Structure 1
Amino acid sequence: MESELSPAHGVSSSVRVLRIEIVSDPPPNSDIKNATVARVRTLRIKSRMLATKSPFFYKLFSNGTTGSELKHVTLRINASEAVLMKLLRFMCSNPLNAPPVLYKFEVSSCRSQLLPNLPMAPDSPLLYVELPHTILMADAAKQYLAGQYKDLTKFKEEVMALPLSGIEVILASDHLRVKSEDDVYDFVLKWARQHYKRRKERREVLGTRLGRLIRFPYMTCRKLEKVLICDDFTHKAASKLVFEALFFKAQQSLTASASLNSRFVERAYKYRPVKVVEFEVPRQQCVVYLDLKREECAALFPSGRVKSQTFHLCGRKFLLLGACSLNKRGTSRCFELAVGMKKKSSGSFVVDCEFAARSRPAKEFVTKYKSHYTFTGGTFVGTGNLFKVTWSKFMAEDSPFFINGVLHLKAEFTVRH
């Protein structure tokens, strides 16, 4: 590429000299602005070719003045941007791949052909997300990061090492695979404490950036109680987030404005969120509300099951189980609803159980099942056919149990003394 990109000796009327000064990258969170020049590259460049492909280089060579073209130009870059040499070769020869830094230098003509060929190197997506002038590529990079790390459990150590920009992309995804939003909250706190040792800085990051990406309305009430006493948030911020979450849980449906806010969008949790009302007097009691979408129920056929978030009764952890199961005679499949006490919970006690569901046309909760059980850890009890109909009738288009595509269930538990 002697005629397009070569070391500078003499300068002709069609070639300009580009002096590239490479400085060391400053440490993270550093205030250092003036770095020492570590290396210098001086090249002969066909300025007109670069100027037609990039507004950045047009302004660089013309100094922003029409009809004026500088013969000697100096460009200072960080060491991490030293791939500029590949960029220049790309602009002169149009290879299929190019470094992400090309978007910093506004080579917009290459975006469409590079979008399907996003490099999969671990650090590349972060560069696309963080560099300016990368709208199209940044969107692709965000999609890649969200897809690559959507399972926090599987990639926990890798995600913990990501910078703030990467964490924001992952937390913004509706498809994050986690057991519950409680796990997201715990992960964010752990990440923030590792990357921001000073509480003041940690509060700033959580309060202005990461806090808005945690979906507090889908956290359990027990975890929300801990948010109120967590000193990683200011009291004002924690109170606002918890109040907003509790207000959401008390509503029967989303308002139009809330549905546009990502904090109110439910992720694909392993354990389905529930709304819980607890009472201590006159008897220990709790009422649990579980909503399942029609498509979630359809996915249970022929033998699937779905579990709820845990809730507490008499100091023990419980959860609901919805499933598609065979009836007692083994002749047809039905909707099963059961409740269980988690294995780690100790002791046993007797509980009155009542299951109810909303149905059309009244849309009120109607009791479908009542009984009482002596609970011990790991035991699941309930009814194998909550609605007394076959699965096909339960899932039929005219089924009275789905209201606007949602099955509304209520379980009431009262401890016997």
Structure 2
Amino acid sequence: RQATVTIADSEYEAFLELLHFIYSGKLTPTEPILVVDILLAADKFEVASCIKLCGERLVDLPMTAESAVMCLDLPCSISMAPALAEAAKKFLAKRYDKFLLTKFQDELMRISLTGIVAILSRNHPGVASEESVYDFVLRWAHFQYPNPEERHKILSSSLLPLVPVVRSMTNGILIDQPSCIVDFTLSRGQCSGLFPSGSIRSPPFYCGGHGFFLSAHGKMEPSNFFGLLIEKLEDKGPVRGTIDYEIEVKTRQSLEFLFLWRRTTTTDSRQALGCRIPWPSIIADNSRFFIDDKLHLRVHVKITPQP
């Protein structure tokens, strides 16, 4: 009786090493990536003794970035998969503890989603670098996921929740659309901290290939007010065409977003645009703008290019 075994080209070397192990009982490779490949082959063909030996060897061998990412994706049928995944996370966190450095950027662009999630989950670069982390995440997503819908799904579900500045202010982001709607949330504590002359800035969001951000300000002079401004990043030069801006706020009475401010501009100016709310009405204990001590804002931006 004959049986046919089909293996992919990428599995060929690992399969030969597995055959060698079956007939000799010896596992000779010491290169981490090849050992992971042999482990996967042994799991595929249910060679338990080889699975055990490969797992033990991987624990003792120094990891590489590629082998660490492979260990994160091991099937749950491998008993040592959780231990190897934890070791891989520690390795990646240590290797890329300063992952914003220029020297790591090309290397990181080639790391898979599971690896990037592990790095972001274990490293906290500090408030001063949060926007740089956000920019890094966007660049990585653009590199790995050219399809906008797939990219947006990955960003929303897996990556942006790991960026502190996004967790603190941004609820949803649409990227590189001719028009976009972005929701922001500020706590009462964040708003109170703006008085008498503070400000807070959202992570950037993108519309029609141009970057924008929302900033909130507290001003005591010449009159006490809470200000909201939409500003354009200096990334791709002035916008040639019409830009429609709108800010909405959710109120306690309706629990729906209501119109707060609207502006259309046809200039190429980088001037920040927005509105002011008297400070007492925004921060009062019975303020209609806070729902469970949260201020919910919605920003609309639409770019219509010149014909």
Unpaired stretches in structure 2, ≥5 consecutive residues: 1-8, 33-51, 122-132
Give distance in 1, aligned partners of 2:279 and 2:272. Answer: 22
Aligned-partner Cα distance in 1 for 2:189–2:115: 28
The aligned counterpart of 1:104 is 55
Q: Is the contact made by 1:354 and 1:370 (CA closer than 8 Å) also made in structure 2? A: yes
Maintained 8 Å contact 2:232/2:272: yes
Map of 1:142 onto structure 2:
89
Residue 359 of structure 1 and its aligned partner are, at CA, apart by 0.9
Amino acid at match of 2:105: K
1:79 equivalent in alignment to 2:60: no
Match in the other structure for 1:12: none
Task: Pick one of 155, 169, 173 that aligns with 2:114.
Answer: 169
1:323 match: 216
Deviations 1:345-402 (A, max 9, x none): 446556564432111111233332345545325332223x3x3225xx7467765334
The partner residue of 1:274 within 158, 169, 173 is 173
Whole-angstrom distance in 1 between the partners of 2:71 and 2:200: 40
Equivalent residue runs for 1:252-267 within 5 Å:
262=157, 266-267=161-162
In the TM superposition, residue 406 of structure 1 has moved relative to its aligned partner by: 5.8
TM-superposition CA deviations, 1:309-345 (whole Å, max 9, x none):
1113xxx73524223343552x757342224375534
1:77 to partner: Cα distance: 1.0
Whether the 8 Å contact between 2:199 and 2:215 is mirrored in structure 1 is no
Which has the bigger relative contact order, CA under 8 A and spacing at least 6?
2
Q: Please give the per-residue CA displacement for 1:146-200, whole angstroms capped at 9, x wherever unaligned.
A: 57548467422232565xxxx242244594733286533322259xxxxxxxxxx
TM-score by length of 1: 0.43
Aligned to 1:67: none
The CA distance in 1 between the partners of 2:53 and 2:282, in whole Å, is 57
Amino acid at match of 1:217: K
* Percent of matched pairs sharing the same residue: 16
Superposition deviation, residue 305 in structure 1: 1.2
Task: Give the 3-state SS of the residue equivalent to 2:278 in structure 1.
Answer: coil
1:31 to partner: Cα distance:
0.9
Residue 409 of structure 1: aligned partner: 298
Provide structure 1 residue ranges, at least 5 long, that are not aligned to the other structure.
Answer: 1-27, 39-72, 83-100, 191-205, 220-244, 246-261, 280-285
Larger of the two Rg values belongs to structure: 1
- Classify 1:323/1:295 alpha carbon distance in 2 versus 1 (closer, same or farther; 3 Å): same
Deviation per residue, 1:213-246 (Å, 9 max, x gap)? x653376xxxxxxxxxxxxxxxxxxxxxxxxx9x
Match of residue 47 from structure 1: none
Distance 1:168 1:357 in 2: 35
Question: Whose helix proportion is higher, 1 or 2?
Answer: 2
Closer, same or farther: CA 183–127 of 1 in aligned 2, 3 Å? closer
Q: 1:29 maps to which residue?
A: 10
CA distance in 2, matches of 1:139, 1:218: 23
Contact 1:152 1:178 in 2 (8 A): no
Amino acid at match of 1:321: L
Residue 400 (structure 1) aligned with residue 288 (structure 2)? yes
Matches within 5 A, 1:276-291: 288-291=180-183
Distance 1:216 1:269, change over 3 A: farther
Give, in angstroms, the shift of residue 297 of structure 1: 7.9
CA distance in 2, matches of 1:139, 1:122: 14
CA spacing shift, 1:122–1:80, aligned 2, 3 Å: same
Aligned match of 1:159 in 98, 108, 113? Answer: 108
User: Which residue does 1:309 correspond to in 2?
Assistant: 205
> How far is 1:80 from its partner?
0.9
SS at match of 1:80: coil
Write the deviation string for residues 12-50 of structure 1: whole angstroms up to 9, x where unpaired.
xxxxxxxxxxxxxxxx925133359x9xxxxxxxxxxxx
Structure 2 SS opposite 1:322: strand
Conserved? CA contact 1:351–1:413, under 8 Å: yes
In structure 1, C-alpha distance between the alignment counterparts of 2:31 and 2:301, rounded to whole Å: 61
Cα contact 1:274–1:290 (8 A) shared by 2:
yes
C-alpha contact 2:218 2:227 (8 A) present in aligned 1: yes
Structure 1 CA distance for aligned equivalents of residues 287 and 301 of structure 2: 24
| Inter-partner Cα distance in structure 2 for 1:326 and 1:308 | 23
Q: How many residues align?
A: 250
CA contact (8 A) 2:245 2:263 kept: yes
**Are the aligned partners of 2:250 and 2:289 in contact in 1 as well (CA < 8 Å)?**
yes
Per the normalisation by structure 2, the TM-score is 0.55
Q: What whole-Å deviation, never above 9, does each CA across 1:94-126 have from its counterpart, x for those lacking one?
A: xxxxxxx988249xxxx9xx9xxx978767845
- Distance of aligned partners of 1:215 and 1:378 in 2 relative to their CA distance in 1, 3 Å threshold: same
Q: Secondary structure at 1:142's aligned position in 2? A: helix
Partner-residue secondary structure (3-state), 2:89: helix
Query: Which letter maps to 2:279?
Result: V
Contact 1:353 1:412 in 2 (8 A): yes
Pick closer, same or farther for the CA change 1:413–1:181 going to 2, 3 Å. Answer: same
1:216 has 2:152 as partner: yes
